[in-house]
Homo-oligomer: A and B are copies of this chain.
Amino acid sequence: MRIHVVNPNATSAMTAQIGIAAHKVARPGTVIELVTGSGTPVSIEGYTDEALVVPGLLAAIRSAEQHGAEAHVIACFDDPGIDAAREVARAPVIGICQAAMHAATTLSTRFSVVTTLPRSVPIIEDLADRYGMGRRCRRVRAIDMPVLAIEADPDCSYELIASEILAARDEDGAEAVVLGCAGMAELCERLTAETGILVIDGVTAAITMAEALVATGYRTSKIGAYALPRPKPGGLIGEAA
């Protein structure tokens, strides 16, 4: 099974981390094709960063579809371009936020999210609402560190995240916590072990959900909003001439 995993930002160290998380849970026969954004922002911290990664993401998805990808994972917690990606793809497209929230609502009745910057709080709240999880999401918390600082100072970021996880349990009544940034994936197991709380990372949730959907044979509906884009003069980015 070939699963195409896009880290839409330009930081390959983050792609490597995503790859480690992905391989930890993938089935033996699954091939993880990792792609890093090219010419895109080094991290995604707001609407503009999101917008700037989508054209390249769509090109990557078109290309991967032509090369046999059976599912696509967008490995950024804002799920940037997820609807456009589903329009372009015939294979299932999984966002790590949506997958993590699906897992969280299967394993708990209430969860909180811990993310990086406060500016991302309304973005993630809006995603939760859009996915129908708003009522189950107690609160989105931010550690107030930029995305790339997590890797740069893992000890400090670990402490901040752990502290928010405990606060989520004690103040929010959260029964599980979703990590709100792909760059936090490598901390997940230690956080669970040390806090005693179910901590969910979107990368592992998305990879396994991608495998699950491939196994069912269900593919993205091509009726309605996710029908292939209407052809336009001049073609689209990433489209064969």
Q: Which residues of A contact B (CB under 8 A)?
A: 25-27, 41-43, 45-52, 54-55, 58, 81, 83-84, 86-88, 92-94, 98, 102-103, 105-110, 117-123, 126, 129-136, 146, 169, 173-176, 197-198, 200, 204-205, 208-209, 211-213, 215-221, 223-227, 229-230, 232-234, 236-237
* A98 partner residues in chain B, CB cutoff 8 A: 106
Least CB distance from A179 to B in Å reads 12
Known A209-B212, A213-B103, A218-B198; contact A87-B48, beta-carbon cutoff 8 A: yes
* A169 partner residues in chain B, CB cutoff 8 A: 223
Q: Contact between A221 and B175 (Cβ–Cβ < 8 Å)?
A: yes
| Candidates B81, B205, B218; contact of A103 at CB < 8 Å | B218
Q: Contact between A122 and B49 (Cβ–Cβ < 8 Å)?
A: no
* A174 partner residues in chain B, CB cutoff 8 A: 224
Cα of A119 to Cα of B146 in the assembled complex, Å: 35
Q: Contact between A105 and B132 (Cβ–Cβ < 8 Å)?
A: yes
Cα of A174 to Cα of B122 in the assembled complex, Å: 10
* A209 partner residues in chain B, CB cutoff 8 A: 106, 209, 212
* A102 partner residues in chain B, CB cutoff 8 A: 102
Cα of A230 to Cα of B120 in the assembled complex, Å: 12
* A58 partner residues in chain B, CB cutoff 8 A: 48, 51-52
Least CB distance from A186 to B in Å reads 15
Cα of A93 to Cα of B109 in the assembled complex, Å: 13
Least CB distance from A77 to B in Å reads 15
Q: Contact between B103 and A216 (Cβ–Cβ < 8 Å)?
A: yes
Known A48-B87, A81-B51, A215-B27; contact A92-B107, beta-carbon cutoff 8 A: yes
Q: Contact between A208 and B200 (Cβ–Cβ < 8 Å)?
A: no
A-B contacts, 27 of them at CB < 8 A, read A25-B217, A41-B234, A41-B236, A45-B230, A46-B225, A47-B87, A48-B88, A50-B84, A51-B51, A51-B81, A106-B209, A107-B213, A108-B225, A110-B122, A121-B225, A122-B173, A122-B225, A126-B130, A132-B133, A175-B221, A197-B223, A198-B218, A198-B221, A204-B215, A205-B218, A209-B209, A209-B212
